[in-house]
Amino acid sequence: MKKNHITKAVEVLTQGGLVAIPTETVYGLGADARNPDALRKIFHAKQRPMDHPLIVHLADISQLSLWASDIPDSALLLANTFWPGPLTLILKKAAGVSDLLTGGQDTIGLRIPHHPVALALLKEYGGGIAAPSANRFGRISPTTAEAVRDELGDAVDLILEGGQCEVGVESTIVDMSQGHPVILRPGMISAEQIENVLHESVRAKNDEAPRVSGSHLSHYAPSTKTWLMTRDEIKNFLQSVAEKDKPLAVMTLTQIDALPAGILQKVMSRVPEEYAHDLYQTLREFDKKQLKQIIIETVPKNQEWDAVLDRLQRATQF
Ligand code: TXA
Ligand code: MG
């Protein structure tokens, strides 16, 4: 890792600027979590509504008490088990934590990411870094530095290069502020993994949960019209597809042979972790091709696929 890039990033953050940060999930758009002017820049750059809370990224569990209060032992257990890693904990906020971070709520989202560049920056900086995904509001999260450039261009002062994100979808968000764990956003750490650590059952969010931006209907969405279909539906559809609906792309789990001209196929992995890793990058590449539509084959409905299915459903709702 290039030390001088980290030093430069620390400078930018200290001066109230925005730094795009690679994490293991997706790239984040980072700002000093204690600087209100810097936080406002995040909302402006993303065109994100001000009442959507931000996740504060930390270097070390010992910093938790600066941001959260009344931390239950169960939350500490999750933190010790899964951090650094793709898990965000929602906890009661500590006194003095800005409303810009919490969207005016009394809770705060916190996580320690598992990426050498993010960790090096967080350690060198020393303070909390607020970072939503580095995409424009409602769009697909970036999983490469190039994608951040496409999304935000000059709105970000510095982009740290960190390669393609290993996980590829956003962190699992668990609300630990209610007395019982509730998953607000599925991610690659599953409800089952959390249950195995806590020895208690974990609820999924009720669909009314208003404050998680990912829970808006059309979110993580390509700009090309995108549909989710079963394999049979795809085959039927392709048999009678009109010229005016081409070119189009299909994203499948197993190869469909003998496709008509004008149809691009990407066969995804049947391993959920590998699928998640490639998902956003594949959609982004499709999105650049001036296609009439994108058709995605449904994935299995089980816990392993929870996070992927959640993102596919959001990408195809409009
Ligand atoms: O993997 C990730 O979590 C990435 C990387 C950069 O860390 N970040 C990310 O941030 O996905 P963002 O802002 O795009 O999504 C975080 C979600 C938001 O939808 C926000 O509403 C929710 O977390 N959130 C943050 N604080 C919250 C709180 N106090 N209560 C409920 N939801 C909260
Ligand atoms: Mg986001």
Per residue in 121-175, pLDDT (tens digit) is 999 999 999 999 999 999 999 999 999 999 999 999 999 999 999 999 999 999 9
Amino acid found at 316: T
> What pLDDT is stored for residue 221 in this prediction?
79
What lies within 8 Å, CB to CB, of 205 at 6+ separation is: 175, 182, 183, 184, 185, 212, 215
Nearest ligand for residue 169 CA:
1
Mean pLDDT across the chain: 93
Q: How many CB atoms lie within 10 A of CB 241?
A: 18
Is 25 close to ligand 1, i.e. is its CB under 6 Å away?
yes
Q: What Å distances lie between residue 128 and 11, 62, 109, 132, 202, CA to CA?
A: 14, 12, 11, 13, 28
> What pLDDT is stored for residue 220 in this prediction?
73
> What pLDDT is stored for residue 219 in this prediction?
67
Are 107 and 47 contacting, i.e. CB atoms less than 8 angstroms apart?
no
Mean pLDDT of 62-91: 98
Are 159 and 8 contacting, i.e. CB atoms less than 8 angstroms apart?
no
Higher pLDDT, 217 or 302: 302
Mean pLDDT of 4-11: 97
93-97, 136-140, 189-193, 207-211: segment of lowest average pLDDT? 207-211
Higher pLDDT, 74 or 219: 74
Mean pLDDT of 182-201: 96
pTM for the whole thing? 0.95
Is 209 close to ligand 1, i.e. is its CB under 6 Å away?
no
Surrounding ion ligand 2 within 5 Å at CB are 133
Mean pLDDT of 259-282: 96
* Nearest alpha-carbon partner for 177 in 51, 60, 68: 68
Which numbered atom of ligand 1 lies nearest the CA of 209? 31
> What pLDDT is stored for residue 174 in this prediction?
98
Nearest ligand for residue 138 CA:
2
Which numbered atom of ligand 1 lies nearest the CA of 211? 21
> What's the 214 CA to ligand 2 centre distance in angstroms?
6
Mean pLDDT of 214-223: 64
